[in-house]
Chains A and B, each alone.
Chain A
Amino acid sequence: GQNIDQPTEMTATEGAIVQINCTYQTSGFNGLFWYQQHAGEAPTFLSYNVLDGLEEKGRFSSFLSRSKGYSYLLLKELQMKDSASYLCAVRDGNGRGSTLGRLYFGRGTQLTVWP
């Protein structure tokens, strides 16, 4: 099975840096994803890590340590529009054929950015 844990809520101020952590325990692993979901909207893809290390994309960076079952999403120069839920998801990599590639999502971290 899959167990994905992330904080329920976080708050930060505009211009600051925030780190959202995600820990996972999975029977198989084939990549970790971060999605952003604004209230009432669909999730949108932010980042993908399959190897250990840091992936940077503009103001957003994502880190992965497979040996520790740990990832974080780093958001720099926070803006009000970054207020959203951030979903950590793990792709199944060791399941039987039918579940290979399945994404397992965490509950999401609701980030509120204050002015």
Chain B
Amino acid sequence: EAGVAQSPRYKIIEKRQSVAFWCNPISGHATLYWYQQILGQGPKLLIQFQNNGVVDDSQLPKDRFSAERLKGVDSTLKIQPAKLEDSAVYLCASSTTFRWIEQYFGPGTRLTVT
């Protein structure tokens, strides 16, 4: 079974530029999560989708971050414009339902904002 796929794996941009990350969850997983993991900290949930609907985006900085999951499968997370403090690893995870025990994480995208 293929795991959660993410691209790109690494991205370096200057502040005020835009960037987009892509995630393809495990086939059949209805729930998709985007996390931000700053160096030395645990992952922090940014947004959670159930199929193509948003379940929880209360921790997403909506003035600069946006995410979509148009067909209920893959998803994109965008930052526009980026700030220095956005430097982090962005992890995508999926599960069969938001109540299921295990979330499966992708390899992440390491973003460096200079």
Contacts and interface: CB of A to CB of B under 8 A. Distances in A.
B42 A102 contact: no
Looking at chain A's contact residues, is the secondary structure mostly helix, strand, loop, or mixed? loop
B44 to A, nearest CB: 7
Given A44-B105, A45-B103, A98-B55, A108 B42 contact: yes
Q: How big is the A interface, by class?
A: 20 to 34
A89 B55 CA distance: 19
A48 interface: yes
Looking at chain B's contact residues, is the secondary structure mostly helix, strand, loop, or mixed? loop
Q: How big is the B interface, by class?
A: 20 to 34
A42 B107 contact: yes
Contact of B56 (A33, A42, A99, A106): A99
Nearest to B98: A101
Interface string B96-112: 00110111111110000
B91 interface: yes
A101 B101 CA distance: 10
13 contacts: A4-B42, A33-B101, A41-B107, A42-B106, A45-B101, A87-B43, A98-B55, A98-B56, A99-B56, A100-B98, A101-B48, A103-B43, A105-B42
